[in-house]
Amino acid sequence: MIVSALLLGYVVFAPRWLVRALRGAAWTGRAPQLATAAWICLACSLLCATVFAGIAPLVPMLFPAPPGAPGASAAGAELLVGLWPDGHPFAIGRAVLLGLVAAAALVLRIVIGFAVAGYRTRRQSDRHEEIVSVVGRRMDGIEPALVVVEHSDPAAYCLPGKGSRIIVTSGALRTLSDGQLHAVLAHERAHLRGRHHLIATFAHAVAALVPRSQVLDAIRSELLRLLELLADDAAARTADRLDLAEALLTLASAPHTAPIPARAPGIALAAVGKDAAGYAPAAESAAAQRVRRLLQPRSPLGAGRTAGAGLAIITMALTPPLLLLGPALVACCAAYCTSLTALQGLLVH
């Protein structure tokens, strides 16, 4: 039960510190790909640790000591406390049974949650594609497909899926210059090429597992923010950074007085983020930070810092399995080492 307590302690106490550390780290803006991997790893680490806490008491059974090994029973005795009461091999303790039921329920909740998120994503994309095909007009000769929707407010977003396309409003075509429009389209193409909608779906699914969880909400918001930085960096390699920055400011400062027909679904990745209702941009501060990052680019992380951040991510990923398997592996190795030492002594004498 000690391992289960350690895993639950990791789930309860580690995330808040890790979220503060990642949110406050200056390197995340310089290496958004590495930061995206860190936030995904944090989410997976928390989910795995929660599931592992329920199955931890059963792990020693997967690493049995060799029969008759000296000290083998002592090595595994502490691990098996509460697992098989009174030595009966089929009598599972109530606490262990409760942990297994909780772990199974959590796994089922995760599987269903991700399946539902994927289904909703596909359904939203297909439904929105049908709407756009009716209310919009397709610009020929542009790949991926560019669809223009008549509306005075400037907006642009991409729609992933089988029929990937970029949707812009007529207001955006009138407001943005050629260079700015090219930068916005490059930004949206970067979303489609990078299949960022998969990470966005993952982020929304994780946050939906425990509604109003500050940690999971932080994971979702940071992943969505980093996706925009990744698309900005990709667009800046083929378009002028100043044009992209001006386009972001134009889209963020638009009045958005009325909802746009065929408004972007939740899975769509817009050049400027939307609020929960799907209308005006959520916060100009986010767009301002992106603009400042484009106008004042910083050098990429050095090899040393990249290696350090990568090592920290690997450590975070390995913590739950090491907590789960560590004691059992130590007990198993100790038993086998003891038996090998005894065998060596017999051969020598």
Encoded amino acid at 303, one letter: A
Phi, psi of 158 (to 5 degrees): -110, 150
Is a pLDDT exceeding 70 seen at residue 281?
no
pLDDT at residue 268 in the model: 62
Q: Tens digits of per-residue pLDDT, 6-22?
A: 888 899 888 889 998 88
Q: Taking residues 48-53, what's their average pLDDT? A: 90
Is a pLDDT exceeding 70 seen at residue 67?
no
- Percent of the chain scoring above 70 in pLDDT: 72
> CB atoms < 10 A from the CB of 119, how many?
10
Higher-confidence residue of 239 and 340: namely 239
Domain ranges of the chain: 1-92+302-349, 137-201+210-299
- What pLDDT band is residue 122 in, cutting at 50, 70 and 90? confident
- Percent of the chain scoring above 90 in pLDDT: 30
Q: Which two tokens stand for residue 290?
A: 């992106």
- What pLDDT band is residue 90 in, cutting at 50, 70 and 90? very low
Q: Which of 117-126, 204-213, 269-278 has the highest mean pLDDT?
A: 204-213
- SS3 for the chain is CHHHHHHHHHHHHHHHHHHHHHHCCCHHHHCHHHHHHHHHHHHHHHHHHHHHHHHHHHHHHHCCCCCCCCCHHHHHHCCCCCCCHHHCCCCCCHHHHHHHHHHHHHHHHHHHHHHHHHHHHHHHHHHHHHHHHHHEEEECCCCCEEEEECCCCCCEEEECCCCCEEEEEHHHHHHCCHHHHHHHHHHHHHHHHCCHHHHHHHHHHHHHHCCCCHHHHHHHHHHHHHHHHHHHHHHHCCCCHHHHHHHHHHHHCCCCCCCCCCCCCCCCEECCCCCCCCCCCCCHHHHHHHHHHHHCCCCCCCHHHHHHHHHHHHHHHHHHHHHHHHHHHHHHHHHHHHHHHHHHHHHHC
pLDDT at residue 75 in the model: 40
Q: How far apart are alpha carbons 36 and 31 in whole angstroms?
A: 9
Q: Taking residues 185-200, what's their average pLDDT? A: 92
- What pLDDT band is residue 159 in, cutting at 50, 70 and 90? confident
Q: What is the mean pLDDT of the chain?
A: 78
The residues, any chain, with a CB within 8 Å of residue 341's CB and separated by 6 or more, are none
Q: Which two tokens stand for residue 71?
A: 């000290």
Four-point Cα dihedral 192, 195, 316, 218, nearest 10: 60
pLDDT at residue 62 in the model: 59
pLDDT at residue 41 in the model: 95
pLDDT at residue 280 in the model: 37
Which of 66-75, 178-187, 263-272, 278-287 is predicted least confidently?
66-75
Phi, psi of 168 (to 5 degrees): -130, 155
pLDDT at residue 300 in the model: 83
Is a pLDDT exceeding 80 seen at residue 165?
yes
